[in-house]
Amino acid sequence: MEQSFEDILGSLSGIRKTAQELREILLANLVMVGEIPAPTFGENDRMEFVLNRFKEASITKNSVDEVGNGIGILEGKENSGNILVVAHADTVFNTKVDHTIQIQPESVTGAGVADNSLGLAVLSTLPTFLEKLDIELNHNLILMGATRSLGRGDLEGLRFFLSNFEQPIKAGVGIEGVELGRLSHTSIGMKRGEITCRVPEEYDWSRFGDASAILTLNEVINHINEIRLPQRPRTSIVMGSIEGGSSFNTTALKAKLQFEIRSESSRMVQDIHQSMEEIVTEVASQSGDTIHLDIFAQREPGGVSFSHPLIRHTRRIMDQLDIAPRPGPSTSELSAFIDQDIPAITLGLTHGDNVHETNESIEIKPIYTGIAQIIGTLLAIDGGYCEED
Amino acid sequence: MEDIVKKIKNWIDDNTYHHSQFWDLKKLVEKKEKNGLTISLCLPTLNEEKTIGKEVIIFKSELVDRYPLLDEIAVIDSGSDDQTREIAANFGADVYLADDILPGLEKKKGKGENLWKAIHQLEGDIIVYVDADISNIHPRFVYGLVAPLIYREEVKYVKAFYDRPLAVSGSVRPSGGGRVTEILIRPLFSLYFPELTGIIQPLSGEYAVRREVLEMINFPIGYGVETSHLIDVYTKYGLDAFAQTDLDQRVHENKPTRALGKMAFGILQTFIKRAKALDIIQDISDFNTILRQTQAKDNVYEQVELEIIEEERPPMIEIEEYREKFNRSMD
């Protein structure tokens, strides 16, 4: 008998309870996956662990693809199509950072636990949750640990999979460690890049005190700040990080700005990019320094509307679990789905602190609710409740 | 001398493992069940709230729920005043206060006391001891140690080590013993028990042992427990009773040099007791149990006196309650 959506809502508290019963298995997976360093382009060891988990769950269709994605397919009862659940495997931490994780009764702390070791641990444990809940979907459930997502990775793993997987995908669900309540359903337009300033190695005595890459970069930043940004469409320039120089008493030969241009309008993103190119050319000609602007990641705006059945039903699931939904745009995996016209959402699992710091931490208790929300959403998609007429 | 070198080499070749040789946990559990063995994990603790939760979770999830290699996980606590016992119980370990086990005996404090009382409290045919302060804990810390006991009946005592004394990039690294090992234990063993020098990390706190061996040996309650085990098992059963497993890296907090001095002092007491009992060193008088260290305060140097008495518990088989509980006799 088909499960009604009301039945799904009614089953959520039981799912949450089962998730809690499997606490040790989930936290053990979190520790083991999270203590394997996985900088972008260096996720191989982490993927091996995930794949072993899929194999242990008797998922016979499992493999690592050409770009290192770890994929397992839980075959559905009927050949109704595919649902893709994805968690990015990379973190912002390099291999030299201490990845040791600490567990306390209420929280877990360690580099990358929130973004996105928890997401990957839940993905690895999902077959166990479903087995324990005796849930067998009609659709094939594709579980994917995605590589090369962050920074210069530019979602390469997911994009590769979506471009090369030959069967249609009905819907996508992205899992992020934080923040519970997140309901991302649109992607904003984005360009991500770096501006690098270099001054010549030979010291120019005629420019005493002036020949510094930091000063040149400062000039560039001042000009960028003068770019007028409209209130609608909402647009921003995120100055993410700067670095430059090497010591107190040596002129900085190199300085770098990392930034993102974000807007609801792709035209606006393009216009700002153009303005930044002009700024770079102008400052370079005035200073005589070498300035290079490199854009290495971009997203097109788009996504499913707030009233789309996928969003509507996910919100009802969240309401049922007393999660306050925070719908909004994101620059996460959604963008790769949007490029392929696949309805998709990104959901968060729990509450966290110090994200992207080495003492990143997450709360344990809300995770069970986060998992119930994800399994409920998968049941809703599987039951056909998330399709537009 | 050549014979000893050959014997040590053969022993290292035959009885030294790497944990990766035992990756197939399904096969290991099948063999354990076929042999009708039960295995208990003992985590001795004193204020280990930072690491105990993770250890219990990893072992319970991987080696109880997923692969039933362990029949019980027990924390034996010396009286922590932090959250150690609460956290361990919260994540599913059986938690005991060392003082509550065999309450009729005089109370003593020390890691060795906890290890000894575990023999009475825990039920397993094999007991595996793992320190509770390891921050990079992994199931290999248990399966790497119990596997040689499961696969080879003649092996009785398996010791962990954490570095591979192999040639790397054309140069040979020294084996990774700690400071006390290299400047105290290894020289002592080289002098009096040369065959034991094949054991790469004699002081490592992780080992798995058969009950019939544990119940027959003394337990110093302090620093000397590992050293006494090696000497006692060696003299009773010979070198072939030992095996050792490379567990790769072990991350824990390093001890300050002064603490190592205390450790060395306790170990020396244990060693000398055995040297006397085995008649290896004759005419040795009773020794002083005061360790004297110096410290500087501004320009004044002062002596710090620490009394370290390396008390020992007798073989568990001599305890009546134990013989009753496990239906054993002294014969």
Reduced 3-state DSSP string for B170-227: CEECCCCCCHHHHHHHHHHHHHHCHHHHHCCCCCCCCEEEEHHHHCCCCEECCCCHHH
Q: How far is B46 from chain A (nearest CA, A)?
A: 16
Q: In whole angstroms, what is the distance from residue A207 CA to residue A345 CA?
A: 54
Q: In whole angstroms, what is the distance from residue B23 CA to residue B26 CA?
A: 9
Q: In whole angstroms, what is the distance from residue B149 CA to residue A41 CA?
A: 41
B-chain residues near A100 (CB < 8 A): 135-136, 251
Residue of chain A whose alpha carbon sits nearest to that of B88: A105
Which tokens belong to A187?
Answer: 């992607």
pLDDT at B80 > cutoff 60: yes
3-state SS class at A51: helix
Write down the residue that tokens 């509450």 correspond to: A351
Which tokens belong to A69?
Answer: 């994605």
Confidence of residue B280 (pLDDT cuts 50, 70, 90): confident
Judged by CB atoms closer than 8 Å, whether chains meet at A100 and B135 is answered as: yes
Q: What is the ipTM of this complex?
A: 0.79
Q: In whole angstroms, what is the distance from residue A244 CA to residue B211 CA?
A: 63
Which helix or strand (DSSP H or E) is residue A90 part of?
Answer: none
Residue of chain A whose alpha carbon sits nearest to that of B250: A100
Is residue A134 within 8 Å of A365, Cβ to Cβ? Answer: no
Whether chain B has a CB inside 8 Å of the CB on A35: the answer is yes
Confidence of residue B285 (pLDDT cuts 50, 70, 90): confident
Confidence of residue B168 (pLDDT cuts 50, 70, 90): very low
Which tokens belong to B20?
Answer: 């990766």
Whether chain B has a CB inside 8 Å of the CB on A121: the answer is no
DSSP label of B318: G
Predicted pLDDT of residue A203: 59
Residue of chain A whose alpha carbon sits nearest to that of B61: A25
Confidence of residue B310 (pLDDT cuts 50, 70, 90): confident
pLDDT at B294 > cutoff 50: yes
Whether chain A has a CB inside 8 Å of the CB on B93: the answer is no
Judged by CB atoms closer than 8 Å, whether chains meet at A25 and B61 is answered as: yes
Tally Cβ neighbours within 10 Å of residue B79: 14
Whether chain B has a CB inside 8 Å of the CB on A130: the answer is no
Residue of chain A whose alpha carbon sits nearest to that of B135: A100
DSSP assignment of B277-296: HTTSS-SPPPPP-EEEEEEE
Going across the sheet that includes B16-18, the strands are: B16-18, B242-246, B157-161, B207-210, B126-129, B39-45, B72-77, B94-97
Whether chain A has a CB inside 8 Å of the CB on B87: the answer is yes
Reply yes or no: is the peptide bond before residue B195 cis, omega within 30 of 0. no
pLDDT in tens, chain A (389 residues): 578 999 999 999 999 999 999 999 999 999 999 999 999 999 999 999 999 999 988 898 999 999 999 999 999 998 789 999 999 999 999 999 999 999 999 999 999 999 999 999 999 999 999 999 999 999 999 999 999 999 999 999 999 999 999 999 999 999 999 999 999 999 989 999 999 999 887 656 566 556 789 999 999 999 999 999 999 999 999 999 999 998 888 889 999 999 999 999 999 999 999 999 999 999 999 888 899 999 999 998 888 999 999 999 999 999 999 999 998 888 778 889 999 999 999 999 999 999 999 999 999 999 999 999 999 999 999 999 998 87
Whether chain A has a CB inside 8 Å of the CB on B10: the answer is no
- Partner residue facing A103 (CB), from B53, B65, B138: B53
Judged by CB atoms closer than 8 Å, whether chains meet at A101 and B54 is answered as: yes
The set of residues, in sequence order, having a beta carbon less than 8 Å from that of B213 and lying 6+ positions away, is B156, B157, B233, B236, B237, B241
Q: Which of A135-139, A302-306, B134-138, B253-257 has the highest mean pLDDT?
A: A135-139
Whether chain B has a CB inside 8 Å of the CB on A106: the answer is no
Q: How far is CA B68 from the centre of its chain?
A: 23
Whether chain B has a CB inside 8 Å of the CB on A97: the answer is no
- Partner residue facing B61 (CB), from A28, A35, A100: A28
A-chain residues near B63 (CB < 8 A): none
Judged by CB atoms closer than 8 Å, whether chains meet at B62 and A101 is answered as: no
Q: In whole angstroms, what is the distance from residue B62 CA to residue B64 CA?
A: 6
Predicted pLDDT of residue A206: 63
- Partner residue facing A104 (CB), from B53, B62, B66: B53
Predicted pLDDT of residue B167: 39
Predicted pLDDT of residue B176: 55
What is the sign, positive or negative, of the torsion defined by CA atoms of A160, A161, A167, A171? negative
Residue among B202, B57, B75 at smallest CA distance from B139 = B57
- Chain A and chain B share a number of CB contacts under 8 A equal to 47
Judged by CB atoms closer than 8 Å, whether chains meet at A32 and B135 is answered as: no
Which helix or strand (DSSP H or E) is residue A362 part of?
Answer: strand A361-363
Tally Cβ neighbours within 10 Å of residue B259: 12
Judged by CB atoms closer than 8 Å, whether chains meet at B54 and A103 is answered as: yes
- Partner residue facing B57 (CB), from A27, A35, A100: A27
Predicted pLDDT of residue A204: 61
Residue of chain B whose alpha carbon sits nearest to that of A33: B138
Whether chain B has a CB inside 8 Å of the CB on A32: the answer is yes
Whether chain B has a CB inside 8 Å of the CB on A29: the answer is yes
Residue among B308, B323, B131 at smallest CA distance from B221 = B308
Is residue B186 within 8 Å of B203, Cβ to Cβ? Answer: no
Distance in Å from the first CA to the final CA of chain B: 37
Write down the residue that tokens 């939760």 correspond to: B53
The set of residues, in sequence order, having a beta carbon less than 8 Å from that of B103 and lying 6+ positions away, is none
Which tokens belong to B313?
Answer: 């518990």
Q: How far is A347 from chain B (nearest CA, A)?
A: 26
Whether chain B has a CB inside 8 Å of the CB on A104: the answer is yes
Judged by CB atoms closer than 8 Å, whether chains meet at B53 and A31 is answered as: no
DSSP assignment of A147-213: -S-SGGGTTHHHHHHHHH--S-EEEEEEEEEE-TTEEEEEE-EEEEEEEEEE--SS--GGGTTT--H
Q: Please give the mean pLDDT across all residues of chain B.
A: 89
Q: How far is A27 from chain B (nearest CA, A)?
A: 7
Judged by CB atoms closer than 8 Å, whether chains meet at A105 and B87 is answered as: yes
Judged by CB atoms closer than 8 Å, whether chains meet at B58 and A25 is answered as: no
Is residue A338 within 8 Å of A221, Cβ to Cβ? Answer: no
Which tokens belong to A149?
Answer: 């997502």
**pLDDT tens across A6-44, in order?**
999 999 999 999 999 999 999 999 999 999 999 999 999
Whether chain B has a CB inside 8 Å of the CB on A28: the answer is yes
Whether chain A has a CB inside 8 Å of the CB on B135: the answer is yes
